[in-house]
Structure 1
Amino acid sequence: MGTVTADVRSGRGVAVVTIAAPETRNALSTELLTSLADVIDGLDRDPAVHAIVLTGGPKLFAAGADVKQLREMSPVEYAASGRAACWQRLGAVATPLVAAVAGFALGGGCELALAADLVVTADTAVFGQPEVKLGLVPGAGGTQRWARAAGRFAAAGVVLTGRTVDAFEARDLGLVHRIVPAERLVEAAVAVAASIAANGPLAVRAARSAVRRAEELPLAAALEYERQQLLLMLGSDDHVEGINALLEKRAPHFTGS
């Protein structure tokens, strides 16, 4: 099965979640996916955690679903397995998520990375949706998030051929925020997450929600949603503290209220 562990970096507001199933190259079995959703759900409710880093370690992110498990599943069994519910739970997380990707992020592993808010990669990272080579299609956002991030034609070039994309091409396509050497991957992702966590927590969640609405709403509706988030923040104590700190030339002390 493998394990999913969480390490909360005290004082930084960051939690590092690590997938460790080396015997299956971090394949996302139903059991492992459930454990991942449980761990991230718990961190999402932790008031001390303001950003989450998700990694498979310095050599591998996740090489897709557990194909041996999928081979034995009928459509009814798949629907009853809870996998879709796990993906929905991961998609409902409000805490900003930074994916730290080294090595292979294929199939479900690629979809997991694309579900994050920012992707930091090692120079060894390889992305892809090889499902068509197995007579399958991506089922956890691969077709939709690739198209939204890179455009329909670039998405078709990956999804329909099953080809892989290295870290540098992924950056050119707009998927990757930063590329670092593999040995610095988690450290670099934590630094990015800490820079998010240092900001007003209410504002970060509101801004994150507004950015995500850009994928779902027409422009006029998305702009109205953004305006509503601004009005909510104008009613917060944090916005007063942030402005006072700027005027007084000091670091802000946000309380999340």
Structure 2
Amino acid sequence: MNHDSRPLIIAERRDPAILLLRLNRPAQRNALSAALLCRLANALSAARSDESVRCVVLSGDERVFSAGADIKEMQQHGFEALSDPTRQDAWDIIATFPKPLIAAVRGVCLGGGLELAMLADIMLVAEDSVLAQPEITIGIMPGDGATQRLTRIVGKSLAMQMVLTGEPISAERAVAAGLASEMLPASEVLGRALAIARVISTRAPVAAQLAKESIQAAYETPLSAGLAVERRAIQYAFTTDDQKEGMAAFTEKRQPVFSGR
């Protein structure tokens, strides 16, 4: 339980179409307890079914995105802390969130914190952020997806180096490796994430979800199967009202107004 009765996740509507979710366990450096992950999953489930939400931004606080899994929970419960079905379900809900998700990373982003940030579609990092998979330093290894996701994103050599040494990489290195798309001064990360979210929220929502699904397929499938996913997605996009509105607006030289239909 959260003993100081502070909410584990702070949800704020920043625009009618943008939801900002902040991890809020500052005393524990936003460690990912099962309870925090469940709250995050609940917030994303609500955002999934709320048609007015078109993009979600996920952040920590100024000093830390997340220092990783809750070590106390793992010490008390061993592997069961990770294999707990409610915790697993929460990770799955976050991983399969269908709308665009942006991670605004400031400060420390370690272990499960980095595994969580990798579930976002776009990751922005502060110049002073520190990214690492340090699980090996406490005698274990990543268990919430890093051996697979990090390797697919940055390649074998850097993934092996990060996971086998546990040593951090800089924000600059993270951008160079394709782990993050932009590096910014710490004070600008959240603003930039919200600005990108604002742009995305003006785009056709169905097309955005189809595009997200198709890009994710690139990490899951061989090329031929991924291209088949893309072909089905674009075919579906052509059946939407938003396709008609988008093309009409283009020929009429005006801004489109997308309905998400």
TM category (shorter chain) comes to: over 0.9
Secondary structure of 1:136 counterpart? coil
State the Cα distance separating 1:80 from its structure 2 match. 3.1
Matches within 5 A, 1:193-212: 193-212=197-216
State the Cα distance separating 1:79 from its structure 2 match. 2.5
Aligned to 1:39: 43
- 1:60 aligns to 2:82 (yes or no): no
Aligned to 1:102: 106
- 1:217 aligns to 2:221 (yes or no): yes
With the length of structure 2 as denominator, give the TM-score of the two structures.
0.95
Contact 1:30 1:81 in 2 (8 A): no
Contact 1:57 1:186 in 2 (8 A): no
Among residues 235, 241, 246, which one is paired with 1:231 in the alignment? 235
Contact 1:58 1:185 in 2 (8 A): no
Aligned to 2:181: 177
Q: Distance in 1 between matches of 2:178 and 2:15?
A: 32
- Runs of 4+, deviation exceeding 3 Å: 74-78
Q: Deviations over 1:96-149 (max 9, x none)?
A: 100000001100000011110000111111111000111111111111111111
Contact 1:126 1:167 in 2 (8 A): yes
State the Cα distance separating 1:77 from its structure 2 match. 5.5
Alignment RMSD (CA, Å): 1.2
Secondary structure of 1:100 counterpart? strand
Unaligned 5+ segments in structure 2 are none
Secondary structure of 1:82 counterpart? helix
State the Cα distance separating 1:163 from its structure 2 match. 0.9
Q: Deviations over 1:180-224 (max 9, x none)?
A: 111122111000111111110000000000000000011001101
- 1:129 aligns to 2:133 (yes or no): yes
Q: Distance in 2 between matches of 1:29 and 1:77?
A: 9
Matches within 5 A, 1:158-177: 158-177=162-181
With the length of structure 1 as denominator, give the TM-score of the two structures.
0.96
State the Cα distance separating 1:66 from its structure 2 match. 0.9
Q: Distance in 1 between matches of 2:161 and 2:12?
A: 37
Q: Distance in 2 between matches of 1:99 and 1:218?
A: 27
Aligned to 1:112: 116
State the Cα distance separating 1:170 from its structure 2 match. 0.2
Q: Give the residue type in structure 1 aligned to 2:29.
A: R
Aligned to 1:8: 13
Number of matched residues? 256
Q: Distance in 1 between matches of 2:78 and 2:215?
A: 37
Aligned in 2, Cα 1:19/1:163: closer, same or farther, shift over 3 Å? same
